[in-house]
Structure 1
Amino acid sequence: MAAALELFGKRDAEGVSIDDVASAAGASRALVYHYFGGKQELHVAALKSAAAQLEARLRPDGPDGLHEGGRPLEELADGLKRYFDFVEEHATGFAALLKGGPDNRDGEIGEIVDAVRQRLLRLIMKQMRLGEPGPALRVTLRSWTASVETAGLDWLEHGDMGRPALERMLVDQMLALLGVAARQDPQAGELLEKLIRGQAQ
C-alpha cells in the first residue's frame, strides 16, 4: 500500500502499472493481483488508506470532538496544524489523494476524495459551534477548504514557506472570506463577530 501511494503520489494513475508497484514493494506481480485484483482496485484501496489516515489525524482529542475550553479560532488553527502534520508526514499519500482536481475524480475515487472534503467541512463547523450554514456561508467554508488543499499541495511542491506562517495565513484567509460574505449574509457576519470576540477575550 505504501509503495502504491508513493507511485500514485508522484505520477498519474495511468502512468503506474502493477509491475511498477510490485517492483517498488519487493513483491511479485502475481501477489499484487491476488490481493487487489487489478490496478484500479489497488488505486482505490491505497486512496482509502490515505483518506482514513487523514481523517484519523483530523479527529480532535476531546470526547465531543472539541478541545475543552478552546476558542473556535484556536481550534481552527489546531485543526490546521494536525492537517499539515499529515501533509508533512505522509506527503505522497496526501498528493495521491488530492492532486489532479475534480476533473480527474469520478466514480469510487471521486467519492473517496469528496468524503474527505465533507469530513473537513463538518470538522470546521463543529469547531466554530456552527449549525447548518446557509448558501453564502456554505460556499465560503467550502472555498476555504479548497484553499487549504491547494496550499498543502503547493507547500509540498515548492517548500519555500514556513509551516507556521502558512497556517497563520490560512486562518487570516478564513477571516477575510467571512468578512466578504458578511456584507450580504448575516449568518457569516455573526460567525465573524464570534470569532473576533473570542480572540479578544
Structure 2
Amino acid sequence: MATSGTAPAYRRLSVDQRRSQLIDVALELFAGHPPEEVSLDGVALAAGVSRPLVYRYFPGGKQQLYEAALRSAADELERCFTEPENGPLVERLSRVLDRYLLFVSEHAAGFTALLQGGSMVETSRTSAIVDEVRRHAAREVFRHLGLDAPGPRLRMAVRTWIAAVEAASLIWLDEEREPPAGELRRWMVHHFVALLTSTAAYDAESAEVLRRALALERAEGPVGELARRVLPLLADGGHLLLDPEEISPVAEPPRPHPAS
C-alpha cells in the first residue's frame, strides 16, 4: 500500500503498549483499505518503527497481524450491541443500530472486505471471528427479548434479521451511504418489527414476545410510527381489507398426536 509523509518519531513503549499500538495502526489501515492492499511496510511506517520490529511482535507476519486487528475490531463491534435493558425494546434496538452504523461507516473498506469474503488473508480463523460477532448479536437480541432458550422459529427470525442488517449495510456503503444513516436505522428497526410480527402470526412463543414488547412501546415511538404508516396502506376505499370481526387471536401451534 502506498503511503505518504514521513514516519512519526520513534517512541519507546512497553511490550504491551507496543503490541497495542501496532494493532491500532493496522486496524486503522485495514479499516480504510482492503486487507490485500495493506503491507507490513505500510504498518511499520505508520507506526514509526522498523519492519523487523513488527515481525518481532507478529512473527506470523501480515496474517497474524490481520487476525489480531480483526479480533480487536470484533471486540469493538460486539460492544456496539451492549445496551441496558431499560425502556421500550425498539428504542433500545435503535441505539444499538446507531452505534453499529457508525462503526460500519468508519470501517467501510475493511467491513466490506470482511463480510464479502474473498480476501487473500481470509482463513477459517477470521471467519470464526466474524461468526462469533453474529452469534453475540443474536444472544444480545434474545436477552432483550427476555429469552434464554428461544424456539426454532424465533431463532430463525432473529438470525434472518441479523443477516439482513449485514446485507443492508454493505448495500448502503455501495450506494455511498444513501439513504442517510438515520433513515436506514429506522428501516432496520421497522424491518425487525415486521419480521417479528409475521413470525408471531404463526408461532405462540413469538406472539408472547411481541405482546410483551408492544406493552412497553410509546405511541410516538418507532412502532407507533410504523403502524401509522402501514395501516393506511392496508385500507381500500376507507375500509380495511379484513373485517375486524374476522380477526382472531394467534392460535396455539399444532400439538403432536400421542404415540399409539
- What TM-score comes out, normalization by structure 2 length? 0.64
Gaps of 5+ in 2: 1-22, 220-260
Q: Give the CA deviation at 1:185.
A: 1.9
Which sits farther off after the overlay, 14-23 or 135-144?
A: 14-23
Gaps of 5+ in 1: none
1:168 aligned residue (186, 191, 196): 186
**Contact map agreement 1:136 1:185 (CA 8 A) in 2:** yes
Q: 1: distance between equivalents of 2:109 and 2:58?
A: 20
Q: CA RMSD in A?
A: 2.6
2:67 paired with 1:49: no
Q: 1: distance between equivalents of 2:183 and 2:172?
A: 11
Equivalent pairs counted in the alignment come to: 193
Q: Which residue of 2 aligns with 1:127?
A: 144
Larger radius of gyration: 2
1:108 aligned residue (102, 125, 141): 125
**Contact map agreement 1:47 1:93 (CA 8 A) in 2:** no
**Contact map agreement 1:121 1:141 (CA 8 A) in 2:** yes
1:32 aligned residue (54, 58, 64): 54
Q: Which has the higher helix share?
A: 1
C-alpha distance 173-47 of structure 1, shift in aligned 2 (>3 A): same
Q: What per-residue deviation string (whole Å, max 9, x for no partner) do you get for residues 81-120 of structure 1?
A: 222232334445544553428xx96422122111111111
Identity %: 42
Q: Which residue of 2 aligns with 1:145?
A: 162
Equivalences for 1:51-200 in 2 at 5 Å?
51-60=74-83, 65-67=84-86, 70-92=87-109, 94-95=111-112, 97-100=114-117, 106-157=123-174, 158-200=176-218
**Contact map agreement 1:18 1:32 (CA 8 A) in 2:** yes
Q: 1: distance between equivalents of 2:38 and 2:218?
A: 52
Q: 2: distance between equivalents of 1:153 and 1:28?
A: 35
- What TM-score comes out, normalization by structure 1 length? 0.81
